[in-house]
C-alpha cells in the first residue's frame, strides 16, 4: 500500500513504503529517506536509495520517501542534509545521515538479522561492507563512466578493455573467496546486501556471467523477499516517469 503524505517545502511529496507500511497501518513513521524524483536508471534498482530501502525491509522498518529533483539536490534545504548534494539521506527524529554505507550500517547495528551477534563475525561482515564500497565498486563505476560519458572519445576504444580487465580482476578475486558458499561469511549479512547491490550494476555488461558462482550469488540476493519489496517500491515510484534528458 502506498499512501501520499503531506507536501514538504519545495513541493516534494513524502510517500510511505516498506514492511511497516503494510503491517502497521496508521502507525507513525519516524524514518524518512530521500530518493531521486526521476531516477537516472529509470527505476531499475541501481540508484543508491535501493540499498537503504532493502536494509529497512530486512529490518522490518516502515519508512517514508521524499522525492528530490535534480535541481533541488543543490539547494540549501538538501545541502543541509547532505553537503555533497547527493541521495539518499536518512532522517529519524533529530538524526540526519548521509552516505549509503553509513546509513545501512546504522540500520544493521540496531536491528537483528543484518549483522551477526558474535563480535568477530560482526567485524567481518562490516569488513565486507567496506570491501563492496571501497574495493569492488570503484572499478565498476569507472567502467560505467567509460561507457556512458566517454564512449565517443577517440581513446575510448583503447581504454575500455583496460577498465573491463580491472573489473574482471576484482570479480575473480571475489569469486575465489566466495567459492561454493551461499554468502560471504556464514549467513546473509549487511556485507552481502552491499556486495550484491554493487554487483547488480554489472548485469548489463555481461561480465558477471563470466563467474557463475557470482551470478548465482546475486540471484540469491535478488530472491530475498526484502529485496523484492525494496525493488518494487522503487520501481513503483518511477512508473511512468520520463527518463532524464
**Does 80 map to a domain?**
yes
Closest CA to 69 of 38, 23, 103, 105: 38
The reported pLDDT for the residue numbered 237 is: 76
Distances (CA, A) of 130 to 35, 138, 200: 22, 12, 17
CA distance 174 to 62: 33
The reported pLDDT for the residue numbered 98 is: 98
Cell representation of residue 129? 561492507
Task: Please indicate, yes or no, whether residues 91 and 152 belong to a single structural domain of this protein.
Answer: no
pTM comes to 0.83
**Does 50 map to a domain?**
yes
Q: Residue for cell digits 554505507?
A: 101
Name the pairing type of β-strands 63-68 and 31-36.
parallel
For range 97-124, the mean pLDDT:
97
The reported pLDDT for the residue numbered 154 is: 63
Task: Please indicate, yes or no, whether residues 87 and 109 belong to a single structural domain of this protein.
Answer: yes
Domain that includes residue 28, residue range: 15-113+227-238
The reported pLDDT for the residue numbered 21 is: 45
**Does 53 map to a domain?**
yes
**Does 8 map to a domain?**
no
Task: Please indicate, yes or no, whether residues 96 and 136 belong to a single structural domain of this protein.
Answer: no
Task: Please indicate, yes or no, whether residues 162 and 173 belong to a single structural domain of this protein.
Answer: yes
Task: Please indicate, yes or no, whether residues 108 and 123 belong to a single structural domain of this protein.
Answer: no
| pLDDT of 101 above 80 | yes
| pLDDT of 47 above 90 | no
Helices 225-238 + 212-223 axis angle, to 10: 80
Q: The CATH number of the domain where 57 resides is what? A: 3.40.30.10
| pLDDT of 214 above 70 | yes
Number of independent structural domains in the chain: 2
**Preceding omega of 47 cis (within 30 degrees of 0):** no
Task: Please indicate, yes or no, whether residues 220 and 231 belong to a single structural domain of this protein.
Answer: no
Amino acid at each position: 500500500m502506498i499512501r501520499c503524505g503531506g507536501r514538504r517545502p519545495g513541493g516534494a511529496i513524502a510517500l510511505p513504503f516498506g514492511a511497516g507500511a503494510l503491517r502497521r497501518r496508521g502507525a507513525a513513521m519516524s524514518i524518512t529517506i530521500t530518493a531521486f524524483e526521476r531516477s537516472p536508471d529509470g527505476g531499475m534498482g541501481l540508484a543508491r536509495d535501493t540499498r537503504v530501502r532493502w536494509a529497512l525491509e530486512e529490518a522490518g522498518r516502515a519508512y517514508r520517501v521524499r522525492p528530490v529533483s535534480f535541481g533541488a539536490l543543490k539547494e540549501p534545504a538538501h545541502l543541509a542534509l547532505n553537503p555533497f548534494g547527493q541521495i539518499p539521506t536518512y532522517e529519524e527524529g533529530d538524526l540526519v545521515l548521509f552516505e549509503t554505507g553509513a546509513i545501512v550500517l546504522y540500520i544493521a547495528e540496531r536491528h537483528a538479522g543484518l549483522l551477526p551477534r558474535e563480535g568477530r563475525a560482526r567485524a567481518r561482515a562490516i569488513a565486507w561492507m567496506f570491501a563492496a564500497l571501497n574495493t569492488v565498486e570503484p572499478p565498476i563505476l569507472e567502467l560505467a563512466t567509460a561507457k556512458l560519458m566517454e564512449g565517443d572519445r577517440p581513446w575510448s576504444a583503447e581504454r575500455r578493455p583496460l577498465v573491463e580487465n580491472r573489473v574482471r580482476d576484482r570479480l575473480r578475486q571475489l569469486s575465489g573467496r566466495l567459492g561454493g558458499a551461499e554468502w560471504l561469511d556464514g549467513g546473509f549479512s549487511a556485507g552481502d546486501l552491499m556486495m550484491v547491490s554493487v554487483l547488480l550494476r554489472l548485469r548489463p555488461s555481461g561480465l558477471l556471467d563470466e563467474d557463475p558462482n557470482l551470478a548465482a550469488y546475486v540471484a540469491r540476493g535478488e530472491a530475498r523477499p526484502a529485496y523484492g519489496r525494496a525493488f518494487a517500491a522503487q520501481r513503483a515510484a518511477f512508473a511512468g516517469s520520463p527518463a532524464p534528458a
